[in-house]
């Protein structure tokens, strides 16, 4: 009968400990991702139930004026999308970040602030939440479900692509520089994102019904059966805009954008901003030495 040496026992104990830590670590990641994905599902569901419910109500209460003056209905719809999104982000952003949109999730991936596992899990959760919201709106509200994304008013594919790309780029830039980049105004992020989406809907409803969010497009398409330009426009354009925004974010981070116009988040407190002030003085000193260095 052989006896393990003390060194062998220590080695076995270390291997066992490492294996346990690996399991706990990965189980923790999976649990965290599951909870966050469920939150994305729930947030997307609440957002789009409010938004599409608002579409049904706005079209019903303004039915007589839609042909001659649809502006009031458009404003009501834009408000429900903007306010519904803001409310859902206020609920979710401390748990999952409040992406609620596959294009936003993709922009975060390109920007390097999330990974492919989170992007995939969030996208699946967001799409399921959207489909459930649209199905329940179709059941709960009388009349035909309205709000599917499609090209309207003789809008060409290229025009729709540009609209969706640029508006999504702006949305993702706002998310990255207001929500991801922490500052004293980060708490305003849900409201400002909601205001942006409200404005984007006012701009784009007459032309594409305003997507900016592929999950939103999927839910409406499932209920209505309208799949026109579904992937080529209403997925690819938002993802293109998100990728551009993510690339711009990386560029600004590489050049240390916060040094270009420093002090914008300052309240004037010397003690609170000592490091920032010191950094500014050092940069100024380097600048002066570069231009006023004496010839040797």
Dump pLDDT digits (tens) for 231-272: 999 999 999 999 999 999 999 999 999 889 887 776 666 555
Dump pLDDT digits (tens) for 271-280: 555 555 556 5
* pLDDT score for 8: 72
C-alpha 105/C-alpha 24 separation (Å) is 27
> Does 122 have pLDDT greater than 70?
yes
* pLDDT score for 279: 60
In this prediction, residue 69 has a pLDDT band, given cuts at 50, 70 and 90, of confident
* pLDDT score for 256: 92
* pLDDT score for 109: 98
In degrees, to the nearest 5, what angle opens at C-alpha 95 toward C-alphas 93 and 96? Answer: 70
29 or 125, higher pLDDT: 125
In this prediction, residue 296 has a pLDDT band, given cuts at 50, 70 and 90, of very low
Q: Show the domains of the chain with their CATH numbers.
A: 6-255 (1.20.1080.10)
Range 65-74 average pLDDT: 86
And the tokens for 59?
């079209």
Dump pLDDT digits (tens) for 133-159: 999 999 999 999 999 999 998 999 999
In degrees, to the nearest 5, what angle opens at C-alpha 287 toward C-alphas 283 and 291? Answer: 170
* pLDDT score for 66: 77
CB 80 within 8 A of CB 197: no
Percentage above 90 pLDDT, the chain: 72
pTM of the predicted model, to two decimals?
0.82
From the list 104, 150, 132, 130, the residue with the least C-alpha distance to 216 is 130
Q: Residue 147 region, left (φ>0) first, then alpha (ψ -120 to 50), else beta?
A: left
And the tokens for 154?
């003789």
* pLDDT score for 275: 57
C-alpha 10/C-alpha 16 separation (Å) is 10
From the list 142, 140, 103, the residue with the least C-alpha distance to 245 is 103
Dump pLDDT digits (tens) for 5-56: 777 777 777 777 777 667 656 668 888 999 999 999 999 999 999 999 999 9
CB 73 within 8 A of CB 59: yes
Based on the number of CB atoms within 10 Å of its own CB, is 234 exposed (0-12), middle (13-18) or buried (19 or more)? buried
Dump pLDDT digits (tens) for 177-202: 999 999 888 999 999 999 999 999 99
């Amino acid at each position: 009968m052989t006896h393990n040496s003390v060194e062998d026992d220590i080695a076995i104990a270390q291997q066992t400990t490492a294996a346990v830590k690996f399991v706990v670590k990965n189980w923790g990641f999976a649990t965290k991702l599951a909870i966050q994905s469920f939150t994305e599902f729930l947030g997307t569901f609440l957002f789009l139930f409010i938004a599409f419910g608002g579409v049904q109500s706005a079209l019903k209460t303004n039915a007589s004026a839609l042909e001659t003056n649809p502006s009031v209905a458009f404003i009501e719809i834009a408000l429900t999308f903007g306010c519904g999104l803001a409310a859902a982000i206020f609920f979710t952003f401390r748990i999952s970040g409040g992406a609620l949109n596959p294009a936003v999730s993709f922009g975060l991936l390109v920007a390097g602030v999330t990974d492919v596992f989170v992007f995939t899990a969030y996208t699946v959760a967001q799409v399921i939440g959207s489909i459930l919201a649209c199905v329940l709106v179709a059941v709960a509200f009388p009349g035909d479900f309205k709000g599917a994304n499609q090209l309207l008013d003789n809008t060409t594919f290229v025009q729709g692509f540009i609209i969706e790309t640029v508006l999504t780029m702006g949305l993702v830039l706002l998310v990255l520089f207001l929500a991801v980049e922490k500052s004293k105004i980060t708490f305003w992020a849900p409201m400002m994102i909601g205001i942006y989406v409200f404005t984007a809907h006012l701009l784009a409803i007459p032309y594409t019904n305003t997507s900016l969010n592929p999950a939103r497009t999927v839910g409406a398409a499932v209920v209505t059966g309208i799949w026109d330009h579904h992937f080529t426009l209403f997925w690819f354009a938002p993802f293109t805009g998100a990728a551009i925004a993510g690339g711009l974010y990386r560029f600004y981070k590489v050049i240390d954008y916060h040094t270009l116009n420093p002090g914008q988040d300052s309240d004037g407190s010397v003690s609170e901003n000592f490091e920032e002030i010191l950094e500014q003085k050092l940069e100024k000193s380097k600048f002066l030495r570069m231009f006023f260095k004496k010839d040797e």
